[in-house]
Structure 1
Amino acid sequence: MRIRTAGVVAVFALALAASGCGGDSDEPATKESPQAASGKLVIWADDKRTAALKPFAEKFGQENGVTVEVQAVSKDLQTNFVTAAQQGSGPDVVVGAHDWIGNLVQNGSIDPVQLAADQKSAFNETAVKAVTFNGQLYGVPYAMENLALIRNTALAPEAPKTIEDLVAAGKKLKADKKASEILCLQAGQNGDAYHIYPLYTSAGGYLFGTTANGDYDPKDLGVGKPESVEAFKKIGALGEKGEGALKRSITPENSIATFTGKKCAFLVSGPWAVADVKKAGIAYDISPVPGFAGGKEAQPFVGVQAFYVASKGKNKALAQEFVTNYVTKPDLAVALYQAEPRPPALTAALDQVKGTDPDLAKFTEAGRNGQVLPAIPAMAAIWDPFGKAEAAVIGGADPAKTITAAGTTIAGQIK
């Protein structure tokens, strides 16, 4: 699994958060109902978020004298949105992951969002950075997510400081027949760039450099560079012909279940895993993913869920009003959190819920120095070649040859 789309609920939360964050203007966003409010507002989200959004959508409709429809799109929400937008049959607002932005902007599918400075400052700074593309704000964030280390405290009372400490503890548990796997970090036969990324960064690897203004630079590809070769050597040493901590048999389908079945003491996953861990009755704790001894800090990707205004929507003024002055309210962000617990991007909403959910602060801390998942279109070229290179190296392939070849493939796909 890469980034799980939080769906409509997330979108609403993002929207609420956005109205709380400030934009480039110091003037507050207008509170008046737009003239376009005489029409209908259509919102697309995934199945999970739709139910949470509907009560707020109805309230917004009543307050503005309009009809609001929240429509669930079960599969391929991003692709369906782009296609529908080009055909003139798309929604006015769509909720989805921030790493869609590059593709959506490239296809002319979304408009910038105007938030006042006080609204912008009400959001987590990293969340605002994630929805900013080419210097413009394109979405209102509602939730955040990143990987952390979830451990079974009955088997591993202390959080490992390094990946070497984790491997040593896992090996001892295997020797004592208290576990059958050292680490549950999903790879599978095709690899998983998202889940291996914290270890890749700790070993010195990078995907893209940055420009002078801090944006990711597709012309500076790190895959295939000497840093990535050294990183893959360290990843390979943890693989099936080395320490045995990374295995292709740990897949997106079974990684969480292997942990909840008490077959491993350590799981690298995100907030989406917690419900299953609780259901299994496992005593657990959450800490940052540990890096290599003497290496850099492990940096997970930070993903954000947000609300977007469709550039070809039939009621754009109403959509802007909804996203900037309604989605930015804490009550919507809290409702979206309750529908699917991920740290709210709106600071006031996070403050409201973190007292009853200690996991939120722990995930937030684990992602404190994380890297915003690149939203540039070039990122689409990374996933498959990088993941397959990871799987091959975990299986014993030569790290230098494998990641250099992946870099050549990726560079050829980036236009």
Structure 2
Amino acid sequence: MRIRSAGVAAAVALALAAAGCGGGEEPNTTESPRAAGGKLVIWADDKRTAALKPFAEKFGQANGVTVEVQAVANDVLQTTFVTASQQGSGPDIVVGAHDWIGNLVQNGAIDPVQLSATQKNAFHPTALKAVTFSGQTYGVPYAMENLALIRNTQLAPEAPRTIEELVATGKRLKADKKVSEVLCLQVGQNGDAYHIYPLYSSAGGTLFGTTPEGDYDPKNLGVGTPESIAAFRKIAALGEKGEGVLKRSITAENSISLFTGKKCAFLVSGPWAISDVKKAGLAYDVTPVPGFAGAGPARPFVGVQAFYVAAKGQNKAVAQEFAANYVSTPELAVALYQADPRPPALTAALDQLMGTDPDLAKFLDAGKDGAVLPAIPAMAAVWDPFGKAEAAIIGGADPAATLTSAGKTIAGQIK
């Protein structure tokens, strides 16, 4: 475990000891939080841990419980939580991405959160949809995120309406030696399904079809279909053997720094890039990722960060109280925004912050045509084969053969 908290080893040991001594009984859910007492353990990543601690302490004082907020490295938070849950040594609440839900539910790691209709209406509809799985609300959303086009307005004063307009502007700037790259969109050697999806969707590609209820259908795979191959032919035309706009040399590690270093006028990224852009002192604007001319809109994935109640937590009544009635306060939502500026899911907090951060409304506008990132377990089978197929096609591989092979790989893993 890469848990960065001095007291975590002791906390895990205590939880294991309690489980071994019959402490695994669920608390009486009819008790009030104060009556339940005890300890509430919350796991989150570093940024959110720092923001949560003062609010957690306030909640603990008001409800007669000891609250511990412990930091777990974000890249192992989900797997660490599932493993700890199975061992009976996990937290009462975990904070993470909404696309974990399918896996967490499949592993019996989280419970539905009890939100009233009034509480649900307080959240952005897309955020609430993202945390709804099989008809139940499994998390309390607090932040949303999606990709947008971040543009250096000194180099490119006008927002491109299509990807073709962007390419023309970028090529002109490159010919004038004002930039070295037409577009900074991370690909890397293994591809990046998340960042290529806006262009893929604009060209008619999908990952999954949907059920009559509007849920993603893992039995209706969109990778390897004629539509997906046609979409990647358009992407290939922008690749290394085509326009040279999409490159494997542009990666997660250098895409933002290339933009802040004025090596490109256009960056496809999310709210997490803005702090670096501001530090660089660039004049910038945020607009939707443009789609292909004559095709559909570019539909970025919309992701949501949320609080989850552990199914095997030691203090489930208090965890439900914290998640349902405390996470939904504007004060906490604003504090989490200040720790990591992404549009709040709580409408009241979003309205409060829009006056001081105009980028919030711009990112929301960029995601208005977005697709909720699939949270079904089958999505885990998509990322690697799809990304590698993307990288290969951008490098010059045949779209039809590459996508057909990727589709077979994904289908085999889903079965």
**Is TM-score (shorter-chain normalized) higher than 0.5?**
yes
Larger RCO of the pair (alpha carbons < 8 Å, separation 6+): 1
Gaps of 5+ in 1: 1-29
- Between the aligned residues of both structures, percent identity stands at 81
Q: Equivalences for 1:384-395 in 2 at 5 Å?
A: 384-395=384-395
Q: Equivalences for 1:11-410 in 2 at 5 Å?
A: 33-34=32-33, 37-74=36-73, 75-410=75-410
- Counting matched residue pairs gives 386
CA distance in 2 between partners of 1:257 and 1:266 (Å) = 12
CA distance in 1 between partners of 2:106 and 2:34 (Å) = 29
- Which residue type is aligned with residue 69 of structure 2? V
Counterpart contact for 1:97–1:303, Cα < 8 Å: yes
When residues 31 and 141 of structure 1 are mapped into structure 2, their CA distance, relative to the original with a 3 A threshold, is: farther
How many Å apart are 1:31 and its aligned residue?
A: 12
* Secondary structure of the corresponding residue to residue 79 of structure 1: helix
CA distance in 2 between partners of 1:33 and 1:288 (Å) = 46
CA distance in 2 between partners of 1:31 and 1:86 (Å) = 25
Counterpart contact for 1:37–1:64, Cα < 8 Å: no
- Which residue type is aligned with residue 37 of structure 1? A
* Secondary structure of the corresponding residue to residue 143 of structure 2: strand
1:11-61 per-position Cα deviation (integer Å, ceiling 9, x unaligned) = xxxxxxxxxxxxxxxxxxx99833653111000001111010000000000
Counterpart contact for 1:36–1:315, Cα < 8 Å: no
- Which residue type is aligned with residue 291 of structure 1? G
How many Å apart are 1:212 and its aligned residue?
A: 1.0
Gaps of 5+ in 2: 1-28
When residues 36 and 207 of structure 1 are mapped into structure 2, their CA distance, relative to the original with a 3 A threshold, is: farther
CA distance in 2 between partners of 1:390 and 1:112 (Å) = 36
CA distance in 1 between partners of 2:313 and 2:332 (Å) = 23
| Counterpart in the other structure of 1:26 | none
Counterpart contact for 1:31–1:325, Cα < 8 Å: no
- Which residue type is aligned with residue 66 of structure 2? T
1:208-246 per-position Cα deviation (integer Å, ceiling 9, x unaligned) = 011111110000000000100000000000001111110
- Which residue type is aligned with residue 311 of structure 1? A
CA distance in 2 between partners of 1:163 and 1:275 (Å) = 25
CA distance in 2 between partners of 1:34 and 1:276 (Å) = 42
1:184-214 per-position Cα deviation (integer Å, ceiling 9, x unaligned) = 0000110000000000000000000111111
1:346-370 per-position Cα deviation (integer Å, ceiling 9, x unaligned) = 0000001110000000000000110
Counterpart contact for 1:97–1:305, Cα < 8 Å: yes
- Which residue type is aligned with residue 192 of structure 1? D
| Counterpart in the other structure of 2:15 | none
Structure 1 residue runs of 4+, over 4 Å off?
none
* Secondary structure of the corresponding residue to residue 214 of structure 1: coil
- Which residue type is aligned with residue 152 of structure 1? N
Rg bigger for which structure? 2
* Secondary structure of the corresponding residue to residue 246 of structure 1: coil
Counterpart contact for 1:92–1:314, Cα < 8 Å: yes
1:259-302 per-position Cα deviation (integer Å, ceiling 9, x unaligned) = 01101000000000000011111100000000000000100000
CA distance in 2 between partners of 1:105 and 1:79 (Å) = 13
Counterpart contact for 1:35–1:317, Cα < 8 Å: no
- Which residue type is aligned with residue 52 of structure 1? A
TM-score (norm 2): 0.92
CA distance in 2 between partners of 1:403 and 1:259 (Å) = 30
CA distance in 1 between partners of 2:391 and 2:203 (Å) = 17
